[in-house]
Chains A and B, each alone.
Chain A
Amino acid sequence: MGRWTTRFGLAVFVVLALGPIAWGVVTSLMPTKALTRSPPDLALSNLTLSNYVEVLTTRGNLVDALIDSAIVATLTASMSLALGSAAAYALARLRVPGANRILLAVLAIQMFPGIVIAIPLFLVYSQLRIVDTYPALAITYLSFTLPVVIWILKGFFEAIPPQLERAAAVDGASAFQTFRMVILPISLPALFAAGIFAFIEAWNEFFFAIILTRVQIKTVPMAIAEFSGQYQTLYGQMLAAAVLASIPVVVLAIVFRRFILQGFVEGAVKG
């Protein structure tokens, strides 16, 4: 009885999670004519790759958008890791006055609604003349990736036995050498997990991207949004672009799945 309830629950969950993705993939393989008919004509004979060809060739800006997104996401992930790992280590291990309050503040900042800071940020970036640049987006994204990265890594660092650092101190390592040569190498799973989290967040971000860029930079979510025009929406092409945009993230997640799981679990369960 209990087993069947569990199975039913899982089935509902799988349908809810994968249904929209399956629907999106099917849509991306259908010609616009078939999709706009009521009801949509989903006959297998209609299957076509024309939407993919279209978005990758004639509307060449999707490729540019993929490149822009990759740059912004990589920049965000690497800055999150560089700053987040140092901050998390200090909060986990060094005697930082008010460490608990700092951690709560870090979390509170993450809860700020984006709209509150979007306009002020735009004004500041205008003064600094960095609107429509990669750093402008990456720095903004740090405001929501860094808190999570700090919390993930702090949990992981706390689970490392302090004797390792003591042994390194006795061996003659400075605090920074200990961090670089002992702590970071054994924290790779957590670093992967945190880094991929930051990458995905930056990759998918739409709201700040549309406010803080003009013509130089266009990330993938913005490019996808452009398929929805004033007079018509090219559903097939839009979803073909969305499927293409999700490939890098899915590949990253599959390749580093083992690391990600290990990183999250060890960060969560101390000792």
Chain B
Amino acid sequence: MADVQLIGVSKRFGSVFACADVNLEIADGEFVTLLGPSGCGKTTTLNLLAGLEDVSGGEVRIGGRVVNELGPFERDIAMVFQNYALYPHMTVAENIGFTLRLRKRPKGEISARVTQVAATLELEHLLDRLPRELSGGQQQRVALGRALIREPAVFLFDEPFSNLDAALRVRMRTEIKELHQRLRVTSVFVTHDQEEAMSISDRIAIMRAGRVEQVGTPDEVYARPDSAYVARFIGSPQMDLLAGDLVTTLDGGMGFRVGGLTFPVPAGTASRLAAGDVDMAIRPEHITLDPAGTGAAVRVVQPLGPMTTVSVAWDGGLLTARLPGMAHMAPGQPVSVGLDPDHLLFFDRTSGRRIHP
């Protein structure tokens, strides 16, 4: 068990910075996810933490100890790889026990520990099989077993579910979360799937172009994104950004005009928006569509069971709303669009940073 600190960590490949000035503190027992699109530096950051790449600058600390110069093994970490990386010529038992064999532990101890780990992961009946005789999910569990047997201070996961089908992915998420709740080992998880990150993490670090854009709990990054980038990366369907102007409405209040529609803005918020160009955004679930009203027209309806996503357009604007249950709407149908003023988000159009009300 250990805390992890990345202090001003950077990695350069030639003249390209794969990650630059990454600062991240992970508490003992915490589950933190590095989230971002491919090429954002999240896997490089994980490799720097694992000791599989050398840092170009900054400091990596595990359990308070600077580990910059230590190899992966001395850092007391265990890692689960994207393609499982099981040794194809070894049985499940040999794969799991390999690290103990390298440490020259007695045969009896190795087999006892392997059996114990296999029981935790329900792999007992597969111990004599070769990796190629296993399903994707079973291979993934063997990879987990290989990490578990180490009893490491930190678990590192490099997109471990990306090769699994959707249903299995959701099940493995539950398993990993359960495992973490039971063992409470500090874990760092890398993924490009925002839903996966939201569902398993204590905190999420969203990365962009080699830097950490925002670190926060799933709740924070969802409800209070620091930037338009984070706002759009988190949440499904994706949040729409509306370009418009701040105007005074007929009743003397403030409003945000997007093309032909004007949405009321709370006075307190409006006072912060006076300077510069701003974009407005809102989560799809805070949009209401009234079939009795007019002003916009339904474009696409996508029923998903527990909810329906409905895209609406009007002269100069486009929004996607998320309505509960099966909303019975038809393309072309006129509706009026209502936005919950308490959940409006505003972003500086130039910097992309959120303007805090």
Contact = CB atoms under 8 A, between A and B. Distances in A.
B230 interface: no
A166 B52 contact: yes
A255 to B, nearest CB: 20
B77 A170 contact: yes
B214 interface: no
B79 interface: yes
Contacts of B98: 168, 171, 173, 181
A167 B88 contact: no
Nearest to B73: A172
A171 B152 CA distance: 11
B73 A169 contact: yes
B73 A182 contact: no
A177 interface: yes
Interface residues of B, number: 22
B71 A169 contact: yes
B83 A172 contact: no
B79 A166 contact: yes
Interface in A146-192: 161, 163-164, 166-173, 177, 181-182, 185-186
B73 A171 contact: yes
A164 to B, nearest CB: 5
Nearest to A162: B85
A161 B84 CA distance: 11
B190 to A, nearest CB: 13
Contacts of A172: 73, 99, 102-103
Contacts of A185: 89
A168 B85 CA distance: 9
Contacts of A170: 50, 52, 72-73, 77-79
Contacts of B77: 170
Contacts of B82: 163
B263 interface: no
Contact of B146 (A171, A182, A186): A171
Contacts of B73: 169-172
A124 to B, nearest CB: 42
Contacts of A161: 83, 85
B17 interface: no
Contacts of B78: 170
B85 to A, nearest CB: 4
Contacts of A182: 87
B83 A169 contact: no
A164 B83 CA distance: 9
A267 B175 CA distance: 39
A12 B86 CA distance: 47
B89 A167 contact: no
A164 B99 contact: no
Contacts of A167: 79, 81, 85-87, 146
A166 B81 contact: yes
Contact of A171 (B50, B83, B89, B102): B102
Contacts of B86: 167
B103 A186 contact: no
A186 B90 CA distance: 10
Contact of B52 (A164, A169, A173): A169
Interface string B95-108: 00011001100000
Given A163-B82, A163-B83, A169 B72 contact: yes
A163 B81 contact: yes
A121 to B, nearest CB: 40
Nearest to A160: B88
Contacts of B102: 171-173, 177
A118 B72 CA distance: 50
A243 B52 CA distance: 55
A169 B51 CA distance: 9
19 contacts: A163-B81, A163-B83, A164-B85, A166-B50, A166-B79, A167-B85, A167-B86, A167-B146, A168-B98, A170-B50, A171-B146, A172-B99, A172-B103, A173-B98, A177-B102, A181-B98, A182-B87, A185-B89, A186-B87
Q: 5 closest pairs, A vs B, by CB?
A: A163-B85, A172-B73, A167-B85, A171-B99, A185-B89
Interface of A: 161, 163-164, 166-173, 177, 181-182, 185-186
Given A168-B98, A170-B78, 14 more contacts: A161-B83, A163-B81, A163-B85, A164-B85, A164-B87, A166-B50, A166-B81, A167-B81, A167-B87, A167-B146, A170-B52, A171-B73, A172-B102, A173-B98
